[in-house]
């Protein structure tokens, strides 16, 4: 186990904004990670094929193949099944979170982000078993489904006396 912990972990950063990629890369490299970068979804899919990373740090809003497209392609093509996925995005709508969970995201971080918090999230994901991550995704999806049902129940017009 100690030998496994000693190896350098590989992170693939996918974001169409060069400045954000640079900040992410600097932050993760400074914390001891080996970093590769992709500027869009197509590059990300090629990088996943070439060498699956330990962790994928993925933006959702990109031209062409967006982050959701990367997640769909990863699933459809069976790419990098053990890669942990951290979504780093400005999107905060519940439906976006749900879509990400459904497509295999393991964690979310919203922009702007604290660099130390990002490193902590990546380390936490890498230290968590795939089974635990799957159980967490299922819990998040169940919570979202329950919230949707509650919102639906309270938004229906009431019939009868009040």
- Fold observed for domain 2-155: Rossmann fold (3.40.50)
Determine the pLDDT at residue 3.
46
- Count of Cβ atoms closer than 10 Å to residue 43 Cβ: 19
pLDDT tens for the chain, 162 residues: list them. 444 556 889 999 999 999 999 999 999 999 999 999 999 999 999 999 999 999 999 999 999 999 999 999 999 999 999 999 999 988 777 788 888 889 999 999 988 889 899 999 999 999 999 999 999 999 988 888 888 788 777 876 666 565
Asked if residue 33 lies in contact with residue 10, where contact means CB atoms within 8 angstroms, the answer is yes
Q: What is the distance between the terminal CA atoms of the chain, rounded to a whole angstrom?
A: 64
Q: Where are the domains of the chain?
A: 2-155
Determine the pLDDT at residue 140.
87
Determine the pLDDT at residue 33.
97
- The DSSP code for 143 is H
- Integer CA distances (angstroms), 128 to 4, 74, 117, 125, 160, in order: 14, 20, 16, 5, 51
Kindly give the pairing relationship between strand 107-110 and strand 10-14.
unpaired
Residue 104 token pair: 């295999």
Strands (E), 43-148: 55-58, 84-89, 107-110
36 membership: H or E segment, kind and range: strand 34-38
**3-state SS class at 58:** strand
Cis, bond preceding 154 (omega within 30 deg of 0): no
Determine the pLDDT at residue 11.
98
């Amino acid at each position: 186990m100690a030998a496994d912990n000693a190896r350098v972990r590989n992170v693939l950063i996918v974001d169409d904004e060069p400045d954000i990629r640079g900040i992410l890369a600097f932050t993760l490299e400074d914390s001891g990670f080996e970093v590769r970068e992709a500027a869009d979804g197509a590059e990300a899919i090629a990088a996943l094929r070439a060498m699956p990373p330990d962790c994928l740090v993925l933006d959702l809003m990109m031209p062409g193949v967006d982050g959701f497209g990367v997640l769909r392609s990863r699933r459809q093509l069976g790419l990098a099944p053990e890669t942990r996925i951290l979504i780093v995005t400005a999107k905060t709508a519940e439906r976006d979170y749900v879509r990400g969970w459904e497509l295999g995201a393991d964690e979310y971080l919203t922009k702007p982000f604290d660099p130390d918090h990002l490193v902590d999230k990546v380390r936490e994901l890498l230290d968590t078993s795939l089974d635990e991550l799957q159980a967490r995704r299922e819990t998040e999806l169940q919570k979202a489904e329950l919230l949707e049902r509650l919102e639906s129940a309270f938004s229906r017009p009431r019939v009868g006396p009040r």
